[in-house]
Copies of this chain bind each other. A is one copy, B any other.
Amino acid sequence: MIMYRGNSLEKLFKPRNVAIYGDTSAHGKIFKRCLLFLQASAFTGNIYPVTEEYSEINGLKCFRDISSLPDAPDVILIDSTPSHIPDIVRQAGAKGIPYGIIFSPGQDGLIKEKISAELRGSGIRILGPNSQGLLNISCGIPLTYSISLPLLPEPGSHVALVSQSSSLGFACFTSAREKGVKFSYLVTTGDQVDIDDLEVAGVLLGDKEIDLIILYLEDITDGKRLLSFFRRAREKDVTVAVLKAACYGTSAFSSKYQFSGFIDEEQIWEAALRQHGVIRLRDVDEISDLAALFSLRHPPRGPRVGVISSSRGAGILMADHCRSHHLEIPELSLATQQKLKELLPSHGYHNNPVNLTSMILEEPDLFRATLEILLDEEELDVVIPVVTTSSIDLAETVAKNIMSSYQAMEKSLICCWISKGNDLDPSISLLKESDIPVFDNFEACAAALSQMVQWSCSCPYEDKSQMPSFRKVNEELKTEFTEYDAKKLLNNYGINVTREELCNNLSEAIEAAETIGYPVALKVMSPDILRKTQARVIALNLKDSEEVRNAYGRTLERAAKSNPEARISGVVVQEMLNQGLECMICARRHPVFGPVVSVGLGGIYVEFLNDRSTKLAPVSMNSAMDMIRILNGYPLIKGVWGSQSYNVESLASMVSLVSNIIHVEEDIQEINIDPVFVRITDSVVVDAFIIRR
């Protein structure tokens, strides 16, 4: 029995009566397909065809228009030319129909707006336009024109698929179904003029039967809503997996100030999903692979895999692929090895991956005995039998053995079945029907298992108590920031910056230099000159007052030359830091996900290492340490043989602070610290800029 907590969309998913509207101006194919599928299904309510073309169709009475319907059905399916849609929606609303599914494309913005206007007036809720509808598979109700098989009720599935793309959604559904994966719902949302993917997914969270929601996402504009859905799913122990199109394209950042491609779209999606414990899918077949693993009665408790095969080569390849996906192929315990030695021929292999040899053809029971020994081995979290036989008899025996061993033991088991052929299908089906995941290649098997193990070991959320105690500094935010202003703001939030003074004339500059101590750097401050190095308004390593004097005039001249209109707020005299490792920290406001923070090595390393770590902000210091630890360049910071060991904690603390600043200072678009010098004792910001929204 399916229970919706709250009633939202219930009538859409499980309508009593359904009307199907077929406009004569449309070609009628969709209308007729819908009707046929619904009639061939387990749907028991009334079906009202609304069409001017027929008075009766497939034994059903037709109605000429919506107003003449005997009652208001729960759902109306609409196949019409786009220009007619707003009118049909209004009529349906007036009749009191609560839900409409629009198959026709919204075509252009104007028609979508008109539809929206009708919605506001009437209270009807719309799925589409450009939706291909939905399948309530548990109850056997198809509200679509997009499948060609009769839909019978298939209870017992725990997986729902919600797809913005209609045809991709149905293609994934048919493809996964072909592989034996059962879904409880498929909902395609199309152009989302009203009900969208997140609303549907949110409602499905209320279905206690559902363990796994798979989302195919295209256009996400409201990151907060997405993340809040992820959080609610986690609270309810529902796993979410996301297939996102177009992460590789151009960045959603369009800031004209974008100095470097330090954070890209792909990384932000990766971070957002990982930080919320959401599984990232990259291809359609991963949907069925993952769904298959979720059917396991005993999910893997860890990464230790035992492989068993009658082909030495197949076993080795399976082990190779596991290792390359960060799974482990541990040595078996001596007791287990001894048992295998007694059981298997001497030319087999009695450790992991176990090789039964072709002896299995003569003694098929070897398989079960070996499998049970492995399922009993404490060193293993999951056992993968790899099947390569093309013999029907042997295939059947092997499948039955796997099935019965699996049911008897309390360990995770997935099967990699390489051989194929119609004759073998019944044996493979036997396994699938017992909810044993079956893969037909090593890579997919290892990849899906690794993803599931990583997911089940992840505890994604920030520990709030670990956040720095943080209060927004009550100060009017500047409209434009020079380096000096930016560092002042950072310093107000407790971040170390270089000792420096803003000077208005040469004598102030010389006095400042004497106070700070030589050598010093001179930098002209102007909100109109952000690329100071290119404009050559910086002088470094000035060793005495004479050098300061020369540099003062020279840099100001260059500033005037580089931009005659530039407003000059002064010249900064700054201490020179000569020790430490250059890193950079960058925080930005992403149009979808809001504040993000990134850290990596700076200076020459940025150019070639392409090595950075990104998270949604804010992050705690511990979480920032994790970001730094996964950098390829981490050994350089921590110190490798023969090199300096720097103060990693001070860098992590700064990353956490910066992430909190962009979090609370909502008018800041971007904070760029490049470089920060990480030293033996502390970290100091040497240059920075801040851009207001």
Contact = CB atoms under 8 A, between A and B. Distances in A.
Given A312-B165, A347-B106, A245 B171 contact: no
Nearest to A217: B313
A303 to B, nearest CB: 16
Nearest to A635: B608
Interface string A282-324: 1111000000000000000000000000111110110011011
Contacts of A622: none
Contact of A29 (B27, B323, B361): B361
Contacts of A3: none
A245 B391 contact: no
A197 to B, nearest CB: 12
Contacts of A441: 283-285
B420 A175 contact: yes
A59 interface: no
A421 B149 contact: yes
Given A362-B29, A604-B640, A608-B633, A107 B312 contact: no
Interface string A231-255: 0000000000001011111000000
Given A310-B167, A346-B108, A316 B245 contact: yes
A642 B130 contact: no
A106 to B, nearest CB: 7
A602 B440 CA distance: 43
B316 A246 contact: yes
A178 interface: yes
Contacts of A149: 421, 423
Contacts of A420: 171, 174-175, 177-179
A388 interface: yes
B170 A388 contact: yes
Interface in A98-116: 103, 105-108
A389 interface: yes
Given A167-B389, A388-B168, A108 B313 contact: no
Counted per complex, copies of this chain come to 2
18 contacts: A26-B362, A105-B347, A107-B346, A132-B358, A165-B313, A166-B358, A167-B310, A167-B358, A168-B314, A170-B388, A174-B419, A218-B313, A246-B316, A283-B443, A285-B443, A604-B636, A604-B640, A608-B633
Interface of A: 26-27, 29-30, 33, 103, 105-108, 130, 132, 146-149, 163-168, 170-172, 174-175, 177-179, 216, 218, 243, 245-249, 282-285, 310-314, 316-317, 320-321, 323-324, 345-347, 357-359, 361-362, 388-392, 418-421, 423-424, 440-443, 603-604, 607-610, 632-636, 640-643
